[in-house]
Structure 1
Amino acid sequence: MSVLESVLSDLAAEGDQLRTAVAGLDDAAWATPVPAERWTIATTIAHLLWTDEVAVLAARAGTPEGKEAWDAVVLQAIADPTGFVDAGAVEIAVLPPADLMARWDAGRAALTGALREVPDGTKMPWFGPPMSPTSMATARFMETWAHALDVYDGLVSTGSTTGTGSTTGTGSTTGNGSTTGSGSTTGSSAIAARPAPSDRIKHVAHLGVRTRGFSYVQNGLEPPTAEVRVELTAPSGATWTWGPDDAAQSVTGSAYDFCQLVTQRIHRDDTDLVAVGDDAEQWLRIAQAFAGPAGGGREARG
């Protein structure tokens, strides 16, 4: 199996797991808030769908018709660089849940096919540097996994659950993870906990390590020249490593916490990660594996 096929297989599995979690939701449950500011389960799925569809356009930009379609998206980004991504999600999220799910299914399948069709050695245009199909698949895995955590957290029961499946508890959340209001969800909307992590998250960990320098640049800082040894314990118990084993600075701990941190789904102080060296600690405070401006992250649980 090629590297691309391996990543695509893991991307499909992660997407299937998220799909299973939302497939049985009633209309009201799709409006359940998630930790991302102002977003719901519907806008989260819509965002994943929108990005998959745009990635398909990028993968097909090698033809005249494909280039025209891709250029149209780029013009939208130029016209509204800070809002066009969210605008796309909001627009799609108003679809009836069944239609949203059907379009998401089609978008996921189209992305897989489009990435397979990119000629060997060709890089796809993107809003940052051009990407290989494997890099795009890895980025899509990272984002699917991170946003799935948001959905699972939205569905986790935070109050009393009745025999009918109705859940009452805190409903409105802000992007930094703090609760700002209360509400209720009904129907089959509550789950007991996030699904257990799998070793598929190695893709996220790898991106997290590779984007160390990017994290500094996004925060207006000069990336350090000293290398950092990273040793993470996988969900299976295996050890994953990056960097020279004799590096003076290091990061050790669970891969799950590291992946949550680099996708800004957890605060540094709430992880089990151990940093040796000032540069290693600073990196963990600003780590960001996703594109775009520096994110605000989540507040510490206290």
Structure 2
Amino acid sequence: MLQQIADFRDEAEELAGLLDTLPPAAWVAPTGFKAWTPADIVQHLHHSDRMAMASADGQEAFAAFRGRMQALRAGGLNTVQATREMLGDPRPPALLHLWREGVAALCERLSGLAPETRMPWAGPGMGLRMFATARQMETWSHGQAIWDLMARDRPPAAPRLRNIAEIGVRTYGWTFRNRGQEPPGAQPAVRLRASAETWEWPGEGGLVEGDATEFCQVAAQTRNIADTALRVEGEAARVWRALAQCFAGPPEMPPAPGTRVRSARPPG
């Protein structure tokens, strides 16, 4: 099994461990992410993993799966409603069980592919390693809203977080191309602290420096940069951090300061 696939599996299991502790009231409580509930988030992750399984089956299967979702959206349903329609609206604890089974099946399916396999997706296609990292990133980023809702500290940055930092760095150009813009300059250097390690990426367009978790939170739009202690030098770095988007799909603006932060106390 490629390390990136194992990291995705471990990311999902860590989140599942938190979900196992949620009381019934928490499953239906709105989080700071677009007021989605934990049930909405897990349904979304399960749907995305099923779409990833379709991608593993090839372009035709992927296009058919995505086409069904697009038809529901064109019929007037929002993302949450369309996902419920696609999945049959499973409820906890069955939902948690379905998602965990889906992750295990997807990891097994991806492990059977050649490492050089190209995977179709909603945005640009990806190689298998980056595809697995994208699944890890989505699981990690959506999970943040649940950790925040439950007023729980997330475990310290594990070595697998470097995968998400990597995708955050690599999507510098994508952040602007996705908006029909030219990058404001050369890619900035990035220097991140992760436990006892320092992770570095070269660049000439300034510098982004600070905590690895906070960098990944900003890249995945689970935090506004104003709610972090990241240090930014240079205009290109400043504009990038203000718009950073490391996920596929249409451009989205980062959350307003103070809106996606840890709750004072958990629901229930």
Change (3 A) 1:12 1:301: same
Q: Find out whether 1:61 has 2:52 as its counterpart.
A: no
Gaps of 5+ in 2: 260-268
Matched, 1:103 2:95: no
Would the alpha carbon gap of residues 115 and 272 (structure 1) be closer, same or farther in structure 2, given more than 3 Å must change? same
Structure-1 residue corresponding to 2:263? none
The structure-2 alpha-carbon separation of the partners of 1:93 and 1:147, relative to structure 1 and needing over 3 Å to count, comes to farther
1:15 to 12, 15, 26: 12
Matched, 1:139 2:99: no
> Which aligned runs of 4 or more in structure 1 are off by greater than 4 angstroms?
81-85
Structure 2: distance between partners of 1:18 and 1:101:
10
Q: Which amino acid aligns with 2:129?
A: T
What does 1:184-263 align with in structure 2 at a 5 Å threshold?
Answer: 192-234=152-194, 236-244=195-203, 247=204, 249-263=206-220
1:15-52: CA deviations, max 9, x gaps? Answer: 11111111133433211211111310001011111101
Higher RCO, Cα 8 Å, sep 6+? 2
SS in 1 for 2:207: strand
Judged with a 3 Å threshold, the aligned counterparts in structure 2 of structure 1 residues 87 and 278 are, in CA distance, closer, same or farther, namely same
Q: What is residue 89 of structure 1 aligned with on the other side? A: 83
Q: Secondary structure at the match of 2:144?
A: helix
The alignment's C-alpha RMSD in Å is 2.3
Structure 1 residue matching 2:55: 3-state secondary structure: helix
CA contact (8 A) 1:11 1:140 kept: yes
Q: Secondary structure at the match of 2:123?
A: coil
Contact 1:50 1:88 in 2 (8 A): no
Shift in Å, 1:70? 2.6
Contact 1:251 1:280 in 2 (8 A): yes
- State the one-letter code of the partner of 1:256: T
Alignment check: 8 A CA contact 2:218 2:241 kept: yes
Which residue, 130, 141, 145 being the options, matches 2:125?
Answer: 130
Q: How far off is 1:77 after superposition?
A: 4.7
User: Shift of residue 103 of structure 1?
Assistant: 0.9
Q: Does 1:301 align with 2:258?
A: yes
Q: Secondary structure at the match of 2:221?
A: coil
How many residues are aligned here? 256
Contact in 2 for aligned 1:93/1:100 (Cα 8 Å): no
Contact kept? 2:178, 2:251, Cα under 8 Å = yes
> Aligned with 2:117: secondary structure?
coil
- Report if aligned partners of 1:261, 1:268 keep a CA contact under 8 Å in 2: yes
Alpha-carbon distance in 2 for matches of 1:293, 1:300: 21
Residue of structure 2 in register with 1:267 after alignment:
224
Q: Secondary structure at the match of 1:74?
A: helix
Which residue identity is paired with 2:105? A
Q: AA paired with 1:71?
A: A
- Establish whether residue 278 from structure 1 lines up as the match of residue 235 from structure 2: yes
| Worse-matched range after superposition: 292-301 or 104-113 | 292-301
